[in-house]
Chain A
Amino acid sequence: MEYFIQQLINGISVGSIYALIALGYTMVYGIIKLINFAHGDVFMVGSFIGLFSARYLASAGLPPVLVLIISLIFSMTVSALLGITIERLAYKPLRKSTRIAALITAIGVSFLLEYTGVLVLGPQAQGFPDILAKKQYQLFGTSIQVESNQVMILITTIILMIILQYIVRYTKTGKAMRAVSFDMEAARLMGINVDRTISATFAIGSALAAAAGVIFGMTYNSVDPLMGVMPGLKAFVAAVLGGIGSIPGALVGGLLLGTVETEISSLGYSSWRDGVAFAVLILILIFKPSGLFGKNVREKV
């Protein structure tokens, strides 16, 4: 039982990373019906920016907590700008063409980011500095251990979720986002600036992916230009699992997938882990394509 709970805690910390990336997928999909394949690579870029700024700030002698917060914010800002740029250059010209054309473009952007990364940074993995000293905590006198990193991940995720909920529920941009995802044409007629709203969606999604990237780097201590592929795909699985287009769905899907994965690894089938994630995806698509929290939308003729 304690072993199971231990794996559950590990699963939640992996799942938080998936959840943060999945939010970007789900928001972009909700608004322009595009699987933004490049999202996993924005996560990678975010991780590298976090790495470089953390290295720089740590050598400047700042206290660790400040290093973490500043590099997190810096990485989120730059990635948000990257997200907006990608949308403007690659996806906006395709707004009127078919979804398949947009999907092919997204795959293209994804590979462009990955291999530009390989070209510039080299294919080998780089070590991510330990920003915060790692500590272990015993839980309630049991053998269950919680790492300080896991606590940090959970706190960061929760703070970002609260900010996101606030933006989507109460701000003007958030209301515009909800309106555009409900009916783009009607929103336009109501005087909403659709282009700006879509840019905002990409910015927020990319910023969350960057935060996930920094957290990922701190957890696994290693980043490389192709690191975005698998977490990106799995975050998409998480988004579909929770019901694509639904923000709570992305959170639940991410946590669920993270937990399933760590449980499978702990049973000794770690080499099957990625396969299981895709099997989950296909089962969900076949039996409940709208996901756990998704609405069932009929296709109109």
Chain B
Amino acid sequence: MNKKFWLGIIAALALYGVVQVLLTTGVLNDVSKSMLLLICVNVMLAVSLNLINGITGQFSIGHAGFMSVGAYTSAILTLDYDAPFVVAIIIGGLVAALCGVLIGIPTLRLNGDYLAIATLGFGEIIRIIMLNTEYVGGASGLSGIPAKSTWTILFLFTLVTVVLINNFIRSTHGRACLAIRENEIAAEAMGINTTLYKVIAFTIGALFAGMAGGLSAHTFYVITPGSFNFLKSFEILVMVVLGGLGSTAGSIVGAVFVTLLYTYLRDFPEWRMIIYSIVLILMMIFRPGGLLGSTKFSLKKFGKKEAKANGGIGDSSAS
């Protein structure tokens, strides 16, 4: 807990205060408010996916699956069992985390492309299960979910997500994850239990994705299996890649940017998708480190000084 950490917390609380004042004085209208809530949900999703994709180097494109598990679980808890809102969200996250473990253990023996396609498959399987289960409303989904997400609650959840994941990245365990990203075989040779860390990263990622799902369900009243399809996973991936794989700050910037784009292009969905895909392609060709990651810089430092790999945000970026 150094000075930088507390400065970050103070800045975040200041941001919260300013927005809260704007909301109570009515400067921000309902459209801006729902955009703010969506930004919080997306930041949670992007930061948690970044832990799996950017930090641990495991390419997962089934994040919407974890999100939907959390969303459905918490929605059912508040609708059918009158569970307190925050409890429902946390349980939703835990159930999603459990799915993360279950999916993680068998599939994490796979790597790279195979893992990507397996996670995609899992995301689709979850969607199809929801689609065929009458209890959760089938294709029409669940509606009438109480709109209990407020700016305060979403902000707190987002802050906790960012702080916890960021601290995890800087911990010994986080460095183990970074080592796996850099070279799995070398990491294994150094005595790191690669499977364990991959499962941990998957579980934490799923936990926060599940909570984000629950929060979004209680923000927008309605959830359908269709809202958690491959497109949603792709959108989260765009946020992470845009900001820079491996950079928490980058994920936040990416999430904010994509949400703004999403809101302003709401009436032109096909243009939105075309812009996403062109951004992705150009990004990979010209700036694979993303906006806030600079591969060249950190590689140079790594090579010349033979300094130990710095796991801080911003200056570490995925290959």
A240 to B115, CA, bound (A): 12
Asked whether B288 is an interface residue with its Cβ less than 8 Å from the other chain, the reply is yes
- Counting contact residues on chain A (CB < 8 A from B), the size range is 35 or more
A123 to B270, CA, bound (A): 9
Asked whether B124 is an interface residue with its Cβ less than 8 Å from the other chain, the reply is yes
- A residues in contact with B121, CB < 8 Å: 237, 278-279, 281-282
Give the residue of B273, B274, B281, B319 whose beta carbon is less than 8 angstroms from that of A98: B319
- B residues in contact with A183, CB < 8 Å: none
A229 to B230, CA, bound (A): 10
Asked if B277 contacts A115 (CB within 8 A), the reply is yes
A35 to B121, CA, bound (A): 14
Give the residue of B107, B113, B124, B278 whose beta carbon is less than 8 angstroms from that of A108: B278
Asked whether B262 is an interface residue with its Cβ less than 8 Å from the other chain, the reply is no
Asked whether B197 is an interface residue with its Cβ less than 8 Å from the other chain, the reply is no
- B residues in contact with A111, CB < 8 Å: 234, 273-274, 276-277, 280
Asked if B132 contacts A119 (CB within 8 A), the reply is no
Asked whether A107 is an interface residue with its Cβ less than 8 Å from the other chain, the reply is yes
- A residues in contact with B110, CB < 8 Å: 285, 289
A108 with B131, Cβ < 8 A, contacts A236-B117, A279-B125 known: no
Asked if B109 contacts A286 (CB within 8 A), the reply is yes
A35 with B117, Cβ < 8 A, contacts A94-B285, A105-B284, A105-B285 known: yes
Asked whether A73 is an interface residue with its Cβ less than 8 Å from the other chain, the reply is no
- B residues in contact with A286, CB < 8 Å: 106-107, 109
Asked if B117 contacts A281 (CB within 8 A), the reply is yes
- B residues in contact with A99, CB < 8 Å: 112-113
CB-CB nearest in chain B for A117: B270
Asked if A274 contacts B274 (CB within 8 A), the reply is no
Asked whether B28 is an interface residue with its Cβ less than 8 Å from the other chain, the reply is no
* Smallest CB separation, B257 vs chain A (Å): 16
Q: Which of A71-127 contact B (CB under 8 A)?
A: 90, 93-94, 97-105, 107-112, 114-116, 118-119, 123
Number of A-B contacts (CB under 8 A): 123
- A residues in contact with B125, CB < 8 Å: 275, 278-279, 282
A275 with B124, Cβ < 8 A, contacts A99-B113, A112-B281 known: yes
CB-CB nearest in chain B for A274: B128
Interface size counted on chain B using CB atoms at 8 A:
42
Q: Which secondary structure characterizes the binding site on chain B?
A: helix
Asked if A282 contacts B271 (CB within 8 A), the reply is no
Asked if A104 contacts B131 (CB within 8 A), the reply is no
Q: Which of A273-301 contact B (CB under 8 A)?
A: 274-275, 278-279, 281-282, 285-286, 289, 299, 301
Asked if B132 contacts A272 (CB within 8 A), the reply is yes
Per-residue interface assignment for chain A, residues 226 to 244, with 1 indicating a CB less than 8 Å from any chain B CB and 0 otherwise:
0001000100110010000
A114 with B273, Cβ < 8 A, contacts A94-B285, A97-B284, A285-B110 known: yes
Asked whether B69 is an interface residue with its Cβ less than 8 Å from the other chain, the reply is no
- A residues in contact with B237, CB < 8 Å: 104, 107
Asked if A115 contacts B270 (CB within 8 A), the reply is yes
Asked if A119 contacts B277 (CB within 8 A), the reply is no
- A residues in contact with B155, CB < 8 Å: none
* Smallest CB separation, B88 vs chain A (Å): 27
Asked if A271 contacts B117 (CB within 8 A), the reply is no
A109 to B283, CA, bound (A): 12
- A residues in contact with B117, CB < 8 Å: 35, 236, 240, 281, 285
Asked if B273 contacts A115 (CB within 8 A), the reply is yes
Asked if B274 contacts A101 (CB within 8 A), the reply is no
Asked if B284 contacts A101 (CB within 8 A), the reply is yes
Asked if A93 contacts B285 (CB within 8 A), the reply is yes
A105 to B113, CA, bound (A): 13
CB-CB nearest in chain A for B245: A100
- B residues in contact with A100, CB < 8 Å: 57, 59, 112, 318-319
A289 with B285, Cβ < 8 A, contacts A112-B277, A112-B278, A282-B107 known: no
Asked if B234 contacts A275 (CB within 8 A), the reply is no
- B residues in contact with A236, CB < 8 Å: 117
Q: Which of A252-288 contact B (CB under 8 A)?
A: 271-272, 274-275, 278-279, 281-282, 285-286
A278 to B121, CA, bound (A): 5
- A residues in contact with B128, CB < 8 Å: 271-272, 274-275
- A residues in contact with B57, CB < 8 Å: 100
CB-CB nearest in chain B for A271: B132
Asked if A115 contacts B285 (CB within 8 A), the reply is no
Per-residue interface assignment for chain A, residues 23 to 60, with 1 indicating a CB less than 8 Å from any chain B CB and 0 otherwise:
00000000001110000000000000000000000000
* Smallest CB separation, B132 vs chain A (Å): 5
A98 to B284, CA, bound (A): 10
- A residues in contact with B114, CB < 8 Å: 240, 285, 289
6 interchain residue pairs of minimum CB distance: A108-B280, A278-B121, A275-B128, A115-B273, A111-B277, A112-B277
- A271-B132, A275-B124, A282-B118 given. 14 additional CB < 8 A pairs? A35-B113, A98-B319, A99-B113, A100-B59, A103-B112, A105-B284, A107-B61, A108-B279, A108-B281, A109-B281, A116-B274, A236-B117, A278-B122, A285-B107
